[in-house]
Homo-oligomer: A and B are copies of this chain.
């Protein structure tokens, strides 16, 4: 299995330039020392999450003929909007398969970007896309288990190494593993001394358990769905991400629900950045379990997404 290289990531950087926002590192002097924390605000991307980088890189790398056949993706979250947004930029038809348990506003947001939405029972969310590929010739845009997706997310790692050449530690939320795979591939190529550490909710710690046991383990959806971090409920990392994690990632740690909530509040109130729970997990590790992380003078935490429910945000702000 071929791992993504820094050349793949650099090619992806050329593709996503002008589409994905070149996010700056935001100093977080409010975070306790020793050392400095910087937040990479990926929720400032057009659809509110880093997912646009991978989806756009994948679709831009297809031939015009492939794009003309139509694209299909399965997602209840930010990947749905990313594929719809990127497809529209190429005037390509996008069909998004969404579990019928997803909140209405996510369905509406995906439709508003011009995609056709097919609502299915959760058990069929991965079956229907494959059928559409076989029967209608659509091209599948997977959420994480794909080299072009990983290379697209890796542009975040290249930007970090370019902006902060002496970075020591990069903290990345882990769900399917595409984000940490791309970031680790880029960071380890450009700054081998830096550590890359994944962060998961304790309630959805399949990747952490996999990392510790050395075997790719899946949890049950009933377990992973307990966390408020709805972007991190994937039951196991992908096959290709798993190989990247084994090759490049230094550790995967876990945070509690309370630690995620506290980090959300800190990012909003002190960092002026609106994050969803998944987007606060990496910062939560820095703020709450620093003793479990490698020593670091310069740490970057990825704020991966910001599609938070306003009522939940209000509640977290009122709690302080």
Contacts and interface: CB of A to CB of B under 8 A. Distances in A.
A205 to B, nearest CB: 27
A21 interface: yes
Interface stretch (A119-127, A165-173, A214-222, A311-319): A311-319
Interface of A: 21-27, 29, 41, 43-44, 46, 48, 268-269, 271-275, 306, 310-311, 313-315, 317-318, 320
Nearest to A29: B46
Contacts of A271: 274
A310 B306 contact: no
Given A21-B26, A272-B306, 5 more contacts: A29-B46, A41-B44, A269-B274, A273-B274, A314-B318
A88 to B, nearest CB: 10
A25 B313 CA distance: 24
Contact of A21 (B24, B275, B314): B24
A21 B23 CA distance: 11
A20 to B, nearest CB: 10
Contact of A272 (B25, B274, B318): B274
A44 B21 contact: no
B311 A317 contact: yes
A272 B275 CA distance: 7
25 contacts: A21-B26, A22-B24, A23-B24, A24-B24, A24-B44, A41-B44, A48-B272, A268-B274, A268-B310, A269-B274, A269-B310, A271-B274, A272-B273, A272-B274, A272-B306, A273-B273, A274-B274, A310-B317, A310-B320, A311-B317, A311-B318, A313-B314, A314-B317, A314-B318, A317-B317
Contacts of A269: 274, 310
Contacts of A29: 46
Nearest to A316: B314
Contacts of A23: 24
A103 to B, nearest CB: 14
A315 B25 CA distance: 30
* Most central of A43, A311, A315, A317 by chain B CB within 10 Å: A317
Given A21-B24, A22-B24, A24-B23, A44 B320 contact: no
A314 to B, nearest CB: 4
A29 B318 CA distance: 29
A46 B27 contact: yes
Contacts of A317: 310-311, 313-314, 317
Contacts of A46: 27, 29
Nearest to A306: B272
A282 to B, nearest CB: 16
